[in-house]
Chains A and B, each alone.
Chain A
């Protein structure tokens, strides 16, 4: 069945042959869509996939989020969903023995690991009945994010691929969170806490030694190459451009567009301009079409 656009309140099926899935509801007149989206049929389920919505969340998704609150024994994370996600004390790796039972001291020291405002990357462990997510970061891939830029795009634009941790060829590594938050950082990141990392082997979050928030101006920063910074700025602008022009975002396409913008001899700042950006993307789409046709 070809994909057709459904409007809320529109009757998409009157025959009664199908069962209503996501984005639809059953009424006396038939199956009616509840959102603006594309209707599709799978087995006997007639569902409507929303064109644009906030992040829904599925088990196994990689997300990037910001800590908003600390309650009892979990941190509340904002992942641009309708409810905050939670990451429990037991869902992270603590320094020392991994299988250590979490005790009351750990609970009091929660702020030492993650504070309000921190950014983390994690994986969705479970989706609760009300739609809120439970996250975990029991993997060295995930953890607190330092030294980089957070870019917010629409979650519907992020394409589901196998790879969400991607290192670009121009010295920038990225995490494409499926919730629309993308984290960019230089791949030549010299770990400031090198010593600490060795001491706390196996831990996903290294505890902070001081109350960082009041001291953040005193934190040392490692100056990277100016070229890398400009590359990151360009990447940031490109991601925002793709967001406003509603272009699906996947690491490969982003890299192609990055190189394309170099070919068009556009400055980093030019990408902030709406008209120039629109033209770039139109040219890029034409270029991809012609490439696809020739191969």
Chain B
């Protein structure tokens, strides 16, 4: 549970009831997102995504390296399907003390007790009012917040994203031979101010969207040909949704820690093109949420995903046209979603 005084909590919740958040955004609005491509020389592809402003934001850097596996050889100009096994490792580099308040061990224990108590009350309340349409998502754990062990956070994030990318990615391209690859995707979180999972997810997608792997390296005289890899628009995007009860059954995205503390329940919605997966988010409030809220979240997340992907697509196409196939340089742009 994030530390927040009841005084601030009153204000935030009052704001929710009127549809105005602390910084003036709507419930479904993201902070400005800026993305930098290809900043790391040692990697095949990399991206640095920042949600929020320079002073208050969440920043994630992803680097992708690859290891060549089996080789398929064929005649010239065969259409190949090469597979790519992603292996994702997520590292959360927290600077303790920044964006978190100091608490002594004793107080922390007290906070945990309060949280269990609150959850018990909340579930009782819900149980009494509902008509069986409630859905409890996952298990209710002790929860993670900015005070908890960095390692636990890292484990959770690694496992979460590895599961998403566990299916092999396929790519097809022309050539005389092709390799199977094992992609090693590494992410580090350098700053945290809410929306970590969203940021990491976006960063991985951006890095993969820009990925170009060498496919022709046997003949030393032949120049390196890099090929367009997979269709990155089908990649999964995870968004963290927080449900609040002040404005009916509503969803809020991209929350600051103080808004997180006032929410009832949070869950992560991962959308692919047609599918939705929902997982309980251990970061933030633990609680229960109704089926209607979840459906609403799915609907909203699908919209947000479309907007994000199309915005990214525009920028990437524009930049590709500019560069004309040369090795790219660092560039950045800003998306403001509505």
Contact = CB atoms under 8 A, between A and B. Distances in A.
Interface string B19-57: 111111100010110100000000000000000111110
B220 interface: no
The interface size bin for chain B is 35 or more
Contacts, number: 131
Interface stretch (B7-15, B138-146, B194-202, B233-241): B7-15
A277 interface: yes
Contacts of A213: 6, 111, 114
Contact of A269 (B29, B34, B122): B29
Given A68-B104, A69-B104, A213-B114, A117 B4 contact: yes
Given A147-B11, A221-B14, A274-B32, A214 B6 contact: no
B18 A149 contact: no
Contacts of B118: 214, 217
Given A118-B6, A216-B6, A230 B114 contact: no
A244 B55 contact: yes
Contact of B8 (A69, A150, A230, A272): A150
A235 to B, nearest CB: 10
Interface string B52-70: 1111100000000000000
Interface string A106-148: 0000000000111100000000000000000000000011111
B18 A229 contact: yes
Contacts of B103: 68, 116
Nearest to B115: A214
A236 interface: yes
Nearest to A67: B5
A226 B20 contact: yes
B163 to A, nearest CB: 32
B32 A272 contact: yes
A91 interface: no
A243 interface: yes
B57 to A, nearest CB: 9
B10 A269 contact: no
Contact of A212 (B6, B29, B53, B104): B6
A193 to B, nearest CB: 12
A214 B118 CA distance: 6
B334 interface: yes
B5 A118 contact: yes
A259 to B, nearest CB: 17
Interface in A139-180: 144-150
A147 B18 contact: no
B53 A148 contact: no
B117 A236 contact: no
A19 B122 CA distance: 65
Contacts of A214: 114, 117-118, 121
B53 A244 contact: yes
The interface size bin for chain A is 35 or more
A221 B4 contact: no
Contact of A145 (B7, B31, B53): B7
B225 interface: no
Contact of A268 (B23, B31, B53): B23
B55 A144 contact: no
B334 to A, nearest CB: 7
The winner among B7, B17, B21 for most chain A CB atoms within 10 A is B7
The winner among A117, A185, A233, A268 for most chain B CB atoms within 10 A is A117
B11 to A, nearest CB: 5
The winner among B18, B23, B101, B102 for most chain A CB atoms within 10 A is B23
A233 B13 contact: no
Contacts of A217: 13, 118, 122, 245, 262, 264
Given A147-B11, A223-B17, A277-B53, A236 B22 contact: yes
Given A68-B103, A273-B53, A233 B7 contact: no
Contact of A148 (B8, B17, B18, B31): B8
A177 to B, nearest CB: 15
Contacts of B11: 147-149, 185, 221
Interface in B90-119: 101-104, 107, 110-111, 114, 117-118
Given A144-B7, A233-B22, A273 B334 contact: yes
A233 B23 contact: yes
Contacts of B23: 233, 236-237, 268-269, 272
Contacts of B308: none
A219 B54 contact: no
Nearest to A149: B22
A222 B32 contact: no
B13 A147 contact: no
Interface in A251-279: 267-269, 271-275, 277
Given A66-B101, A224-B18, A274-B334, 10 more contacts: A66-B5, A68-B107, A118-B5, A148-B7, A216-B6, A219-B9, A221-B10, A230-B20, A268-B23, A274-B32
18 contacts: A117-B3, A117-B4, A119-B7, A148-B11, A212-B6, A214-B114, A216-B6, A219-B6, A219-B10, A224-B18, A229-B20, A233-B24, A234-B24, A240-B53, A244-B54, A268-B23, A271-B24, A272-B52
Among all A-B residue pairs, the 9 with the closest Cβ atoms: A268-B24, A233-B24, A146-B7, A221-B14, A244-B55, A229-B20, A221-B10, A273-B32, A118-B5
